[in-house]
Structure 1
Amino acid sequence: MAEPILEVGGLVRHYPLTRGVLFRKQVGVVRAVDGVDFTLGRGETLGIVGESGCGKSTVARMLVHLERPTAGAIRFKGEDVVRLSGRALKAVRRNIQMVFQDPYTSLNPRMTVGDIIGEPYEIHPEAAPKGDRRRRVRELLDVVGLNPEHINRYPHQFSGGQRQRIGIARGLALRPEVIVADEPVSALDVSVQAQVINLMERLQGEFGLSYVFIAHDLSIVRHISDRVGVMYLGRIVETGRDSEIYDRPRHPYTQALLSAVPVPDPEAREHRQRIILSGDVPSPANVPSGCRFRTRCWKARERCATEEPLPAAVPAGARSTTGTAAHLAACHFPDDHMDGVT
């Protein structure tokens, strides 16, 4: 059993809703993230999927301390990062780096590639001697598949896939142990997506990285992830190994997401069950009582409106290689079958 390198418990991020001009008064909150729990093992890739607006990117920003949680804990090697400040926080942030979604806006257009990748050394000078930084940057460019001779070029002189490789090189500069990738390939062409994903898999083996990989493309998440967490309206409703989530989904929302994945086989596509969810995603400022998915769920019963479901092991007692429950679903009536779906 490998000890988790990152543990997230009860993570909450609420944004206040205010009214008034001179005298502002809080009239509510937007529950962007409303109680997220997960663990990340050393050398593991945890994929987080869900619809736009479910809170995935907010979780990513809190993991790297770009935003401070309203409540909850983020433990890196057992130490709660949320409670740290000053030098202690700076040391931890060196070990948790981020790759952003947009490979162009995340790079300063007025800085050369060499300055962009080498900038972390200005903040953490202990990571590389000043006279050795140029060589380190060239090595990083080579590692991510770029020409080291292009060190003096600017971001606009590269393609989208090359720019994302620059972002990955910047994330690797300080030799982190955890990388949070917030939809790193969603803005790229399909062929380029495959190249970047293969690069990230290779780097994970070379540098012993652990990934939190956030995306909305289920096929990409399945390709790269060891475990998957499915988010809906600020919470993770199902977690499990990739084979369990994709082959035996237990939560109705997960089943609906997977039914929407395109199938390349025409015969299989004709016989598959397609789930069309009714209504829209509720506002995070007005979350439904009980189960937050019940307003769109075809299995909803009276109990779902009054009692919030807690994650339960499926099957009970199963364990993964990281010591966490192998398959958890927050549903009162988990079922492999899609009864009532047409």
Structure 2
Amino acid sequence: MAEPILQVRDLVKHFPLTRGILFKRQVGAVRAVDGVSFDLHRGETLGIVGESGCGKSTVAKLLMNLERPTSGQILYKGEDITRLSGRALKAVRRNIQMVFQDPYTSLNPRMTVGDIIGEPFEIHPEAAPKGSRRQKVRELLDVVGLNPEYINRYPHQFSGGQRQRIGIARGLALNPEIIICDEPVSALDVSVQAQVINLMERLQNEFDLAYLFIAHDLSIVRHISDRVGVMYLGRIAEIGTDAEIYDRPTHPYTQALLSAVPQPDPEARDTRERILLSGDVPSPANPPSGCRFRTRCWKAQDRCAEETPLLAVPEALAKAEDGAAHASACHFAEVKDVVHAA
């Protein structure tokens, strides 16, 4: 396989907790991201799923350098972008763009569509000559399925799906190689979600884009992703191809997630095993020792509290040929049949 276009190694982001008004002192830290590693290849879609608060959006901000990591590396074409600033960082950001979650707040209501999509050209004037920018914006509107004549309209004159198309057009303006999609369809109706997802797939094939796709909806992630990473409390619990994760999950947390997916078939609904987790998600300011999931896991043993499991292919499953041989951060990883998202 070709060299990854983006490599994330042991990425950590801790937000300090302070006490006091005049004389502040740090009394702890929120471990939002605590040792995340993955690769992203050109033209690939890597889906990231997990419950609210697990660190998905923080990872997206770190990749965009909107937040500085506490430690770890983000290698874009072999160069660590966490060490960049000024012009060097600006040049990298041209190739890594973002589509935000809320199409209602991510667009400036005082700017026309033409100004919103054309704004990247003001920051990177080398991307388009000044005289041709208007035409370039019209072409981008056409690419995302909007009428180029809408160039002088304002965001409030569009529906939610149309606004997200405007956000996608803005992300495409500089011809990036990577687009980070932070729950881009979660605020849209189901029918509109399908339109936006199909649009993103078409654009990926047309422009050879790599997507990091963050979402809650397991069905959407499976539909668009080549590989899927499951996050829990700041770490990746399991990662593999979409078929490996959905058909042959080995981590208990992934199995519990998939068992919670609504099942439209009444017969299958009555026969499947529902995995109910006990307790609440621990605070990221005070995570459990060892395995982060052990306080809610039915397999937990003393080893889970003493030793942090590595994200690697379990030794017992290394020779499996049915899709079970993929990375899982569990001491007792094993395949369990669950009803997967269709």
- Tell me the TM-score range normalised by the shorter chain: over 0.9
SS of structure 2 residue aligned to 1:105: coil
Question: Which residue is 2:209 aligned to?
Answer: 209
Deviation at 1:13, TM superposition (A): 0.6
SS of structure 2 residue aligned to 1:4: coil
Q: Give the alignment of 1:275-294 within 5 angstroms.
A: 275-294=275-294
Deviation at 1:337, TM superposition (A): 2.9
SS of structure 1 residue aligned to 2:94: helix
User: What whole-Å deviation, never above 9, does each CA across 1:59-114 have from its counterpart, x for those lacking one?
Assistant: 00111111111111101111110011111111100000000000010000000000
The one-letter code sitting in structure 2 at the alignment partner of 1:141 is L
Question: Which residue is 2:252 aligned to?
Answer: 252
Structure 1, 77-86 or 191-200: larger mean CA deviation: 77-86
Work out whether residues 97 and 178 of structure 2, in 8 Å CA contact, stay in contact via their aligned partners in 1. yes
Work out whether residues 318 and 327 of structure 1, in 8 Å CA contact, stay in contact via their aligned partners in 2. no
Counterpart-to-counterpart distance in 1, 2:66 and 2:307: 34
Counterpart-to-counterpart distance in 2, 1:234 and 1:58: 9
User: What whole-Å deviation, never above 9, does each CA across 1:171-201 have from its counterpart, x for those lacking one?
Assistant: 0000000000000000000000000000000
The one-letter code sitting in structure 2 at the alignment partner of 1:330 is A
Work out whether residues 113 and 153 of structure 2, in 8 Å CA contact, stay in contact via their aligned partners in 1. yes
Work out whether residues 73 and 80 of structure 1, in 8 Å CA contact, stay in contact via their aligned partners in 2. yes
Question: Which residue is 2:333 aligned to?
Answer: 334
Question: Which residue is 2:28 aligned to?
Answer: 28
Question: Which residue is 2:71 aligned to?
Answer: 71
The one-letter code sitting in structure 2 at the alignment partner of 1:205 is N
Question: Which residue is 2:9 aligned to?
Answer: 9
Question: Which residue is 1:273 aligned to?
Answer: 273
Q: Give the alignment of 1:1-342 within 5 angstroms.
A: 1-314=1-314, 315-316=317-318, 327-337=326-336
SS of structure 2 residue aligned to 1:205: helix
SS of structure 2 residue aligned to 1:291: coil
* Change over 3 Å in CA distance of 1:155–1:317 after alignment to 2: farther
The one-letter code sitting in structure 2 at the alignment partner of 1:316 is A
Counterpart-to-counterpart distance in 1, 2:49 and 2:193: 17
Deviation at 1:326, TM superposition (A): 6.9
Question: Which residue is 1:322 aligned to?
Answer: none
Deviation at 1:313, TM superposition (A): 1.2
Deviation at 1:16, TM superposition (A): 0.4
Counterpart-to-counterpart distance in 2, 1:157 and 1:326: 50
Aligned residues: 334
Work out whether residues 249 and 336 of structure 2, in 8 Å CA contact, stay in contact via their aligned partners in 1. no
The one-letter code sitting in structure 1 at the alignment partner of 2:131 is G
Work out whether residues 100 and 183 of structure 1, in 8 Å CA contact, stay in contact via their aligned partners in 2. yes
Deviation at 1:31, TM superposition (A): 0.2
SS of structure 2 residue aligned to 1:312: coil
Deviation at 1:336, TM superposition (A): 1.1
* Change over 3 Å in CA distance of 1:338–1:220 after alignment to 2: closer
* Change over 3 Å in CA distance of 1:137–1:318 after alignment to 2: farther
Counterpart-to-counterpart distance in 2, 1:166 and 1:282: 38
* TM score, norm. by length of structure 1: 0.96
Unaligned residue ranges in structure 1 (runs of 5+): 320-324
The one-letter code sitting in structure 1 at the alignment partner of 2:318 is A
Work out whether residues 13 and 31 of structure 1, in 8 Å CA contact, stay in contact via their aligned partners in 2. yes
Deviation at 1:316, TM superposition (A): 2.6
SS of structure 2 residue aligned to 1:30: strand
After superposition, the CA RMSD in angstroms is 1.5
User: What whole-Å deviation, never above 9, does each CA across 1:10-49 have from its counterpart, x for those lacking one?
Assistant: 1111000000111111000000000100000110000000
Work out whether residues 12 and 70 of structure 1, in 8 Å CA contact, stay in contact via their aligned partners in 2. yes
SS of structure 1 residue aligned to 2:198: helix
SS of structure 2 residue aligned to 1:107: coil
Counterpart-to-counterpart distance in 2, 1:185 and 1:144: 15
SS of structure 2 residue aligned to 1:119: helix
Work out whether residues 248 and 336 of structure 2, in 8 Å CA contact, stay in contact via their aligned partners in 1. no
* Change over 3 Å in CA distance of 1:311–1:212 after alignment to 2: same
Deviation at 1:338, TM superposition (A): 7.2
* Change over 3 Å in CA distance of 1:174–1:317 after alignment to 2: farther
Percent of aligned positions with the same letter in both sequences? Answer: 81
* TM score, norm. by length of structure 2: 0.96
Runs of 4+ in 1 over 2 A off after TM superposition: 314-319
Unaligned residue ranges in structure 2 (runs of 5+): none
